[in-house]
Structure 1
Amino acid sequence: MIVPLTVSDFLARAESVYPDRIAVIDEPDQPAPSLGTLTYRDFANNARAQAAYLDRLGVPVGARVAVISQNSARLLTSFFGVAGWGRVLVPINFRLTAAEISYIVGHCGAEVVYADPALKDVLDSLDVEHKFVLGDDDNLYLHGVEPTPWDSPDENATATINYTSGTTARPKGVQMTHRNLWLNATVFGLHTAVTDRDVFLHTLPMFHCNGWGMPFIQTALGTKQIVLRQIDGAEILRRIDEHGVTMACAAPAVVNAALEAAESWDGPIPGRDRVRIVVAGAAPPTRTIERVLDVLGWEFIQIYGLTETAPLLTINRSRAEWDDLPAAERARKLVRAGAPALGVSLTTNVDGEILARANHIMDGYWEQPDESAKALEDNWFHTGDGGRIDDEGYLSILDRKKDVIITGGENVSSIEVEDVLMSHPAVREVAVIGIPDEKWGELVTALVVTDGSEVTVEALQTHCRQTLSGYKIPRRIEFRESLVRTATGKLQKFKLRTPYWEGRDRQVN
């Protein structure tokens, strides 16, 4: 017997097994009216009502529905209310500029766009038939009407399109199928031991790799999910304390925020010996991991993956053999990206690039067949990262082959930033690189050759701000007389990066 794997399976189980259990506690401090506390029966009813409303609008199976929102119960519902009935959810990074959002909405051909009230102005520039502000008269739900069933559920149908910055100036739309999402979520839940006793804090943006699959697995197992809209270290600790949180996922910058808040926290650190935090985006320094273990008293779990891999490729969780090791030694073992997750095969090619195979690797890039073929050449996904697999079977990330900087857990295309800087009349040459930074992991840094005019760092940053999202703007700009190039004129970025990374084993942070 073969039964199609679809994301609706996760919600169906939650409603059947845990109907009266608290499903979601929505962010109380947001511009839209908070949905407050929802049971899994409420949550499932809202998902059906969203699907019914899309039926009334005439939005067919396979149509794209975009949501631009910070973490909220409404966005969480959309993973099921949209994708669960055969439509395609496009969760968009709320940090992007209006021009960037407009490109994504146009590229995916969205028929419906929902925007957070704080972002409602962006709707004015979108040429879309149906546009709504989340929470305004709640034009999201049609209660009391059963949605039209998805007649022929297909696990290979696209469930979500997640846009990611890559090696080109334009983001690429990663097509995730229902099968991709289903298997990523279940494997992730297996390795991190999610149970119905967990309380999950959504510190990770839900738009980012679909919250790494946590909206699905946490729902299936009936956990209480706490929505956090704005990252703040003290608020993270407060909510862990208030709600009895046991699990969270985060980029290293969020871990640092929690550690900073712990320094001035009054009383015992919340979650000690209870919380496990799953970290990815870039490996934090060994010392940071050690402080998570010692200062916070939380279990540290590291994973590695990409938007294209849903994201789970490897997991590094402390093993029984490491239990008696000092924290510093355990941290040294945990700094590695990890061992392949169940169902994942990893290897490296002659150039040291990490290649992967798994059931939860993307179907391809939306309407970009050439880029898809390149990324999936020879039935291996080419990660663009350089790495080494040690004798224990653990992967360590050593370098980034693609022209991508990961800062605060967000991907930044250096080419995109270079294009914007080159549009300034005083800039003659530019190279954008990532350099190590304790807080952000990597700092977007621009090396600029000017025409000799007295342009300032502040002027260039202001110029970038007109086009780029805040996290893409170079935090550091250095002026140079020339940039290192090959005989054919190609920038030698590895040479430009070397001085900043001297003394480090890896060329990523």
Structure 2
Amino acid sequence: MNVYAMFADAMRRCADAVAIRHGERRLSYRELDAMAAAAGALFASHGCLPGDRILLFLRNGFEYPALLLGAMRAGFVVVPVNAKLHPREVAWIAGDCAPKVVVTHREHVVPLREGLDAATQCRMLAVEDLGLADSPLSKPVEAEPDDPAWIFYTSGTTGRPKGATLTHRNLVAAAVNCLADIFDFRSDDRVLHVAPLSHGSGLYLLPSLARGAANIISDRPSFQPDEVLDMVAAEGITAFAFVAPTMIVRLLDAAPRDDLRSLRGVIYGGATIHLEHIKAAVARFGPIFHQLYGQGEAPMTISCLPARDHVGADDQALLSAGYVRAGVEVKLVDGEDREVGPDEDGEICVRGDVVMKGYWGNPKATASALRGGWLHTGDIGHFDGGGRLRVLDRRHDTIISGGTNIYPKEVEDVIASHPGVREVIAFGLPDPEWGESVAVAVVAEDPELNEAALLSFCKANLASFKKPKRVIFVSELPKNAYGKVLRRALKDQYTSAR
């Protein structure tokens, strides 16, 4: 089954309803289907055959959904990359996946072409020059469930990005499970996409289009909270397709308003959110937040904490990543891949139809990640007393001090609850006595906040061995193109400085 078949019912039932809107431009479901077919025909005219890759290096925009869906409709494999990446980084991805066609903006054509090595032969198309005219409306190409459909490149925070290969089966399972467990999109929804369509927001096009919702695409290069909430009020936005926790923190900075009654769903994930931030968001905006936990290798997702569990919940619930999704299995293992006991921490391992086929062109990494038939996520977690999955941290981020494991998120959650702290990240630094000690980088809300006050706060709220030995005040935390804080960059920077 080609994942595009998921939209057949919406194409019939909502043919004249708005499917995509970007600024003043809009596409009905009928027009979106025609434009996607035209995109597939365009790629085929440049020599693409089923299984060939189409790389999209684009900002959010009007043509993006049709190009994304059109590639899969025609049996090609779409490779969306974040528009904030440097052309050199994109050239490396292109060299890895060998696309037949690259679609980008005019200003990137020459830098990309110059960055590609001689072995990478591809057609470079500027999106401004495409002119996707109507073409004969052929049926979507038949696809086997395990045929690749989307290559999702990881953010590469610890090295070169790897291409998680998602099949038609993976995408169908992820979309169906989203509708079952995370958010039940409806045909009267107006879904705002403020995050890159190359990432989570693009994945959420699938379930929202399957239900006939209108998708409003924002192309703002940065997240402007007041502007976004003005759009919610003016346009009756009912859902944010996907936002990162840093965006929720920014929403708390927006001016108070009482005209957001249309908003019924905010799907967030991609990184952990601190307890005080989500509490403040629920108190201000109401029971509209749906948390997901997953990764590019198992998109949309592994577990979910629904909106109803954000209200009147104890801290244990809000600190969790919710309940394991329908059609997903999770087990926790130790360093020898032995399943741990019910009250122990272990690496989160996943299997089910949402788990990737493997890493593109990287059998060694695939064998390591999928050993024993389970995706080894690299995240450490446990199940709490309510049966919810709690993600403690990345395995490689664990701080080992005096032989004891300290999870950065435990430290961060305490410090983030201080009223003078805006953002915080914890990491380990070499320590001649303990092996490693805890350091924190802090963005202060209160300019008067100092190290002594913060350490005193930690002494009152945190086990002694988990207290930071070093507090570093910074104006902002380094983040990658997806909004994730670069913990490793801070660790490397201050390790080198020492």
Q: Please confirm whether the aligned pair reaches a TM-score higher than 0.5, indicating the same fold.
A: yes
Match of 1:116 in 2: 105
CA contact (8 A) 1:89 1:159 kept: yes
Q: Deviations over 1:257-281 (max 9, x none)?
A: 11111xx24x415246x32111112
List gaps (5 residues or longer) in structure 2: 336-345, 399-407, 432-477
Equivalences for residues 62-141 of structure 1 within 5 A: 62-117=51-106, 119-125=108-114, 126=116, 127-135=120-128, 137-139=129-131, 141=132
Q: CA separation of 1:380/1:346 partners in 2, compared to 1, >3 Å: closer, same or farther?
A: same
Q: Does 1:160 align with 2:133?
A: no
Q: Deviations over 1:126-153 (max 9, x none)?
A: 4543111212x325x2423345862x42
Match of 2:395 in 1: 401
Equivalences for residues 201-220 of structure 1 within 5 A: 201-209=192-200, 211=201, 213-220=203-210
Equivalences for residues 224-303 of structure 1 within 5 A: 224-230=214-220, 231-248=223-240, 249-261=242-254, 264-265=255-256, 267-271=257-261, 274-303=263-292
CA contact (8 A) 2:294 2:303 kept: yes
Percentage identity across aligned positions? 26
Q: CA separation of 1:363/1:468 partners in 2, compared to 1, >3 Å: closer, same or farther?
A: closer
CA contact (8 A) 2:60 2:218 kept: yes
> CA–CA distance in 1 between the matches of 2:354 and 2:481?
31
TM superposition shift of 1:441: 6.5
Q: CA separation of 1:82/1:379 partners in 2, compared to 1, >3 Å: closer, same or farther?
A: same
> CA–CA distance in 2 between the matches of 1:444 and 1:350?
23
CA contact (8 A) 1:284 1:441 kept: no
CA contact (8 A) 1:68 1:93 kept: yes
> CA–CA distance in 2 between the matches of 1:198 and 1:237?
16
Q: Root-mean-square deviation (CA), in Å?
A: 3.3
SS at match of 1:82: helix
CA contact (8 A) 1:69 1:94 kept: yes
Q: Does 1:305 align with 2:294?
A: yes
Match of 1:178 in 2: 168
Q: CA separation of 1:445/1:316 partners in 2, compared to 1, >3 Å: closer, same or farther?
A: closer
SS at match of 2:252: helix
Q: Deviations over 1:385-429 (max 9, x none)?
A: 00011232100011211469xxxxxxxxxxxxxxxxxxxxxxxxx
Q: Which amino acid aligns with 2:151?
A: I
TM superposition shift of 1:447: 6.7
TM superposition shift of 1:78: 2.1
CA contact (8 A) 1:97 1:469 kept: no
CA contact (8 A) 1:180 1:362 kept: yes
Q: Does 1:360 align with 2:351?
A: no
Q: CA separation of 1:38/1:167 partners in 2, compared to 1, >3 Å: closer, same or farther?
A: closer
List gaps (5 residues or longer) in structure 1: 29-33, 405-432, 450-464, 484-509
Match of 2:380 in 1: 386
Match of 2:469 in 1: none
